[in-house]
Amino acid sequence: MAVGIFDSGLGGLTVWEAVRKRLPDLPLVYYADSAHAPYGVRDAEDVYRLTKAAVERIWEEGVDLVILACNTASAAALRRIQEEGLPPGKRVLGVFVPLIEALTERKWGDNSPPREVAVKHVALFATPATVASRAFQRELAFRAIGVDVEAQACGGVVDAIEEGDQILAEALVRSHVEALKRKMPNPEAAVLGCTHYPLLADVFQEALGADVKVFSQANLVAESLADYLERHPDMLGEGRENRFLTTGDARQVSDRATQFLRRKIAFQPA
């Protein structure tokens, strides 16, 4: 009954933690492609190739459903992986859908024409690759009209978080928020379009101001997954073990993950 969670590094652990709290009896196979992280500075073809290889490896762990807990992979690879065809009984889902459902207040299955929504000015903070893909804007346009999205590529933030440099990460966030505000002085909402960023949600909120509603992905993805599995119980794979796999140095990744979540995490070589 295992479900897979994939990220290029440790950011997806924010999703893992939220899913663990929401579905405590669900075994999770977490896969970090640490040897090739970060994905946010890679081109789309490279991200697709790495993501597809990772998904296929996760399926070997008795998993039928994989969550791409990586916005860059969701932006650059998800649609292509789905359109090229999946093996029977396998599914791959991304992290944009729950976010856009929350922002537009409409379910993904609602196929009515795009309509106006309450929020008109949205700040998107994401990796350079996610920003360049315009995937968020494309998916949002299927559901809403009249929404002005200003994107800010947050270079360096993921690296600082992965390296455990909190001071640098916070300084970079403030700098990127300042840059965004020069382009959009008064955003009504902000989307943290990287699963690393919830760790700095308070810093984003402080820099943006109390009046800006900040949408973070981890809890939204966990709730969406719970709903999906209730509607599709057949997507629970045969795996029974919680596992953490990495393409990087397992000991080093384990140490950083333990620091990341403030709990003991033990990765194994993928």
Which residues does the annotation mark as catalytic? 70, 194
Measured in whole angstroms, the distance separating CA 74 from the mean position of its chain's CA atoms is: 8
Query: What values do phi and psi take at 123, rounded to 5?
Result: -95, 130
Under a CB-based contact definition with an 8 Å cutoff, are residues 38 and 154 in contact? no
- What radius of gyration do the chain's Cα atoms show? 18
What stretches of the chain adopt beta strand conformation (E)? 3-7, 28-32, 65-68, 91-93, 115-116, 121-126, 144-145, 148-153, 189-193, 213-215, 243-246, 268-269
Residue 20 to residue 104: CA distance in whole angstroms: 26
DSSP label of 114 = P
Going by C-alpha positions, the residue among 168, 199, 154 that lies closest to residue 12 is 199
Residue 54 to residue 57: CA distance in whole angstroms: 5
Measured between alpha carbons, how far is residue 124 from residues 42, 100, 102, 199 in Å?
19, 12, 14, 16
Cα angle, residue 152 at apex, residues 161 and 44 outer, rounded to 5°: 80
Under a CB-based contact definition with an 8 Å cutoff, are residues 246 and 32 in contact? yes
